Amino acid sequence: SQTIHQWPATLVQPVGSPLSLECTVEGTSNPNLYWYRQAAGRGLQLLFYSVGIGQISSEVPQNLSASRPQDRQFILSSKKLLLSDSGFYLCAWSRLWTGHGYTFGSGTRLTVV
Amino acid sequence: DAKTTQPNSMESNEEEPVHLPCNHSTISGTDYIHWYRQLPSQGPEYVIHGLTSNVNNRMASLAIAEDRKSSTLILHRATLRDAAVYYCIALRNQGGKLIFGQGTELSVKP
């Protein structure tokens, strides 16, 4: 069966520090991968998606970047964190573009102080 | 992909049915209706999806209006564990990215 791992679960980082969040998927190959962010309250925002190694599409301009160095690995990074980067970050995968195929990770709660 | 409109919040009593409405008046003929829910401090999880016909699975039922401009997610017997934010999303089956709106926050009273 397929599983998605995301870590760490919580993170407190000072303003200006770098960030690296990692997501890995097991039990499937060539998945579509996604990074979402949820700021305080509701509102899940799609940040990046990837359909293959080295292929990254950005949905909104921001202080973050994403990379996909391996087929089942998706990394969210920042060189210098801002206070506004605080939020709940979720990784997800799907095999196809069909909406019902999305599986989400357990998320990373990032607090920038 | 069509815009959807949902009530911000709804309340239900435990063990009673819950009908969560969603309007999607601009939906096209190839847009599927998807429902996800997000439990507190967790990522969203898939609930159900459909195109034209009503759909049932172990989690819920989806009733789609004949003109497809609205749909209703039905939880047949709400439990406390069903308290979550429920998202209705309309998108093309091919080439669609899952874009979330504000959803409906369902609270369940014992």
**Nearest residue of B to residue A105, measured between CA atoms:** B43
- Whether A46 and B93 lie within 8 Å, measured CB to CB: no
Tokens of residue A19, six digits: 């960030």
Assess whether pLDDT exceeds 80 at residue B8: yes
pLDDT digits (tens, 9 = 90+) for B45-93: 999 999 998 999 999 999 999 999 999 999 999 999 999 999 999 887 6
Tokens of B60: 């819920």
> Per this entry, what is the length of chain B?
110
Q: CB contact, 8 Å: B102 with chain A? A: yes
Q: Determine the residue type at B100.
A: F
Among the partner-chain residues B43, B96, B103, the one whose CB lies closest to the CB of A42 is B103
Task: Give yes or no for residue A76 having a pLDDT over 60.
Answer: yes
Site of tokens 């996800």: B36
pLDDT per position as a tens digit, A18-55? 999 999 999 988 999 999 999 887 789 999 999 999 99
Average pLDDT of chain B is: 92
Q: How far is B86 from chain A (nearest CA, A)?
A: 11
